[in-house]
Amino acid sequence: MTFRQFAYRNVVRNRRIYAAFFMASVFSVMVFFLYSMLLFHPTIEDRFIQEIAIIGMGIAEIILFVFTAFFLFYSMRAFLQARSKEFGILLHLGMEKRQINRLIFIETLLIGITSIGIGIILGFTFSKFFFMIVKEIVLLPALPLYLSWKPFVLTIGAFLSLFIVISLIAPVFIKSGKIADLMRGDGNEKELYVYSKAKGYIGIIFLGVSYVMAASTSNSIVLVLLYFLPPLATIGTFYFFTDSVPMFLHKLRSSRRIYWRNFRLLSISEGIVRLRENARMFFIVTIVSTVAFMSVGILASLASFASQYREMNPLGLIYISYEGNELEEEHTSMLNRELEERDIQFSRKQIPVLEQRSTYSGSSVDIISVSDINELASEFDYLSIQLNKGQAIFLPPSPSSYESLNNRTVKTTLQNSDLSITIDGAYPYQLFASYSISTNAIILNDEDFSTVLAKGTMNEAPSFTYYAYYIPEWQKTKDIGLSINDTINDTFITGVSSSLPYSFDNPGLNYSIIRTTFSLLLFIGLLLAAVFLLAAGSFIYFRLYTRLEQDKKQFDVLKRLGLTDPEFKKIVNRQLIPQFFFPWGVAMLHSSFAFLSLQVVWDALAEISIVKELVLVLIGFTVLQIGYFYLIRWRYLAHIKAPS
């Protein structure tokens, strides 16, 4: 048996221990590879959505890489410490320290190369499927499978260097103590029962303060809190796990009424050890999960922004032509033609909008006739309204402004036409896209409207014509009027857009951009969160596995003492449930409070509530976690009951 064979057999025969570690590495290699496949896709270039896709994927790759590095370092350390007995024996048999380092180097590299290989193979196998999902989301023409060296080189380069660095550093993790110490195994049990009261209180206080501040935040200080709260909560979380929780459990322990009951004696004391032992891991899992919850929650809320987009943009296309627009006829007939060519049903309303100066406010006001409004409203199946002579109502610029405008009554004279009117109430439906007319618009009786029209021609303020396209299948319009869009975009670049005598708005196109961007980001985020989930679970599995022998022995003693099977299951549940759900519970609490403060910013931004999305995301994660819990419990029980 050569030295290399020895290392190889070590890995292959310890495969059950390596399994979770291996699985998590394979999975992150796979996801990384998928992202880079998309990153280097030849047909994705120089388009707006693709830019976002590439930036998103790029950032996701970096996060994934950093996290994987972190994960590998941590598990490697725990792993080598768990094997210290084995190293003790090897040193005892006369192996040099240098040889042990080489052994670890070969072993790690072996796992690394295998997981890179399998990860890439899996990634390549699933890449067509992955492209199909991305294609669905981004609404691209088909993304063909392609073969290029770039994604392979990036993935192999990134992970191989990571594994090499880790395998070189790993030997440092072995406690360089005496052979006898190594052989005695983990040792240092005493550490598990020590905690600092001061730190325990710091943990609770820090967390409490951050929660209270997050809950009571207001618009004015939220930006300050954004810098201040995360570090505070992070430090608080750390001490919470390392000291506050043990402190609490020890308090519980001193009350015999609670503690000396049934198997609580076992489960609480066991819980103390497990929690203390895994405190750092819980801290990491909590922070990582919080970030994952937050990013997914934010992305989901952005997706809900898109779904409310229709409410704010009820019209399919909007073309506004100002006075002196020579292209008016050309543009509108072109739009009609393009819509007809694509078999999209539509109805077009040409709405003249007049502009007058109001004596009441001294500012200009846009005027629309009631029959134009009613005609458009009939397309939406809204009720028509009646206005008498001299009577007017406000046309609210956005749904939220309806309330305040409806309760206002204003008597005013339109300066240019000398028409006295009473504006009372507001129009209840949202016919136009928000703010597409103007913030100050009213609806007039037809007769008054013609009066204004007749006298208003002398007025220097230009009136405009609003072309409202009502299109039931409004999402199909993303290819309509692209040439007008291009001209407008060009003038944006040259900086003369304000002098253009027309404007054009295509909500269908805008919506498709927003929607795909958000869903793409959400998809990337969910994939990342899945990697985090798997890694966190594999930490726990790994910890359980390294303690398996000890647990087995303990199980044997308890069995002789007469512990029944249901009781044993309950004890195992009480050990595992906190390990799985405690960090997650804290993470959920963290992100709930974070969202509470974000809601302040968000509400002001887009007038949407993110509670529903958040609840959905949290439920989704919880279901996943419960599934994972049962899987691992099943494996654990099977291992522990198996005869040795």
Partner 1 sequence: MKPIVTLKEVTKIYEGKVMHRALNQLTFEALEGEFVAVMGPSGSGKTTLLNLISSIDIPTYGRVLIDNVEPEKLSENNLALFRRSSLGFVFQEINLLNMLTVEENIVLPLTLDGYSIEEMEQRVSLLSNRLGISKILDKRPDELSGGQAQRTAIGRALVHKPKIILADEPTGNLDSASAKDVLELLSEVNKTDRTTIIMVTHDPIAASYCDRVVFIKDGEFFNEIYKDERRQTFFQRILNVLSLLGGHSNDFSSVRLP
Q: For residues 32 and 61, is the Cβ–Cβ distance under 8 A? A: yes
In the chain, how long is the greatest CA-to-CA distance?
108
Q: For residues 175 and 185, is the Cβ–Cβ distance under 8 A? A: no
Choose one: 253-261, 318-326, 517-525, 595-603; the region binding partner 1 (CB under 8 A).
Answer: 253-261
Binding string, residues 135-154; x marks residues near partner 1 by CB under 8 A: --------------------
Half-sphere exposure of 122 (CA within 13 A, CB side): 15
Q: Does position 408 bind partner 1 by CB under 8 A?
A: no
- State which of positions 220-249 bind partner 1 (CB under 8 A): none
What b-and-e string marks burial along 497-519, b requiring 16 or more CB atoms within 10 Å of the CB? eeeeebbbbbbbbebbbbbbbbb
- Candidates 55, 62, 212, 265; binder of partner 1 (CB under 8 A) is 265
Q: Does position 641 bind partner 1 by CB under 8 A?
A: no
Backbone dihedral angles phi then psi of residue 441, each to the nearest 5 degrees: -135, 145
Q: For residues 119 and 27, is the Cβ–Cβ distance under 8 A? A: yes
| Smallest gap from residue 562 Cβ to partner 1 (A) | 3
Neighbour tally for 540: CB within 10 Å: 22
600 Cβ contact partners less than 8 Å away, ≥ 6 residues apart: 217, 218, 219, 222
- Beta carbon nearer to partner 1, 15 or 190: 190
Q: What angle, 0 to 180 degrees and rounded to 10, lies between the N-to-C axes of helices 279-307 and 264-277?
A: 80
Q: Does position 264 bind partner 1 by CB under 8 A?
A: yes
- Beta carbon nearer to partner 1, 189 or 418: 189
160 Cβ contact partners less than 8 Å away, ≥ 6 residues apart: 112, 113, 116
Choose one: 41-49, 83-91, 256-264, 622-630; the region binding partner 1 (CB under 8 A).
Answer: 256-264
340 Cβ contact partners less than 8 Å away, ≥ 6 residues apart: none
What is the length of the chain?
A: 644
- Report the distance separating Cα 514 and Cα 511, nearest Å: 5
- Beta carbon nearer to partner 1, 92 or 569: 569
- State which of positions 543-582 bind partner 1 (CB under 8 A): 553-554, 557, 559-567
Of 91, 65, 62, 79, nearest to 167 (Cα)? 79
- Beta carbon nearer to partner 1, 343 or 565: 565
- H or E segment and range at residue 318: strand 317-322
Q: Does position 251 bind partner 1 by CB under 8 A?
A: no
| Smallest gap from residue 253 Cβ to partner 1 (A) | 9
Choose one: 78-86, 119-127, 260-268, 279-287; the region binding partner 1 (CB under 8 A).
Answer: 260-268
- Interface with partner 1: number of residues (CB under 8 A): 28
| Smallest gap from residue 565 Cβ to partner 1 (A) | 6
Distances (CA, A) of 378 to 100, 145, 347, 372, 449: 83, 49, 11, 10, 20
| Smallest gap from residue 187 Cβ to partner 1 (A) | 10
- Beta carbon nearer to partner 1, 219 or 269: 269
- Report the distance separating Cα 478 and Cα 509, nearest Å: 4
Binding string, residues 180-199; x marks residues near partner 1 by CB under 8 A: ---------xx--x------
- Candidates 261, 408, 569, 641; binder of partner 1 (CB under 8 A) is 261
- Beta carbon nearer to partner 1, 264 or 635: 264
Of 385, 386, 395, nearest to 365 (Cα)? 395
| Smallest gap from residue 195 Cβ to partner 1 (A) | 14
- Beta carbon nearer to partner 1, 63 or 273: 273
- Report the distance separating Cα 602 and Cα 594, nearest Å: 12
Q: Does position 254 bind partner 1 by CB under 8 A?
A: no
Q: Does position 1 bind partner 1 by CB under 8 A?
A: no
β-partners of residue 614 are none
- Beta carbon nearer to partner 1, 141 or 562: 562
| Smallest gap from residue 189 Cβ to partner 1 (A) | 6
Of 202, 237, 203, 217, nearest to 590 (Cα)? 237
- Amino acid letter at 62? I
| Smallest gap from residue 260 Cβ to partner 1 (A) | 5
- Candidates 125, 216, 262, 350; binder of partner 1 (CB under 8 A) is 262
- Beta carbon nearer to partner 1, 66 or 265: 265
| Smallest gap from residue 557 Cβ to partner 1 (A) | 5
Mapping DSSP onto H, E and C, the string for 545-575 reads HHCHHHHHHHHHHHHHHCCCHHHHHHHHHHH
Q: Does position 98 bind partner 1 by CB under 8 A?
A: no
- Report the distance separating Cα 581 and Cα 271, nearest Å: 13
| Smallest gap from residue 176 Cβ to partner 1 (A) | 23
- Amino acid letter at 380? F
Helix (H, G, I), strand (E, B) or coil at 159: helix
Choose one: 164-172, 269-277, 300-308, 312-320; the region binding partner 1 (CB under 8 A).
Answer: 269-277
Choose one: 141-149, 263-271, 427-435, 463-471; the region binding partner 1 (CB under 8 A).
Answer: 263-271
Q: Which residues lie near partner 1 (CB under 8 A)?
A: 189-190, 193, 256-257, 260-266, 269-270, 272-273, 553-554, 557, 559-567
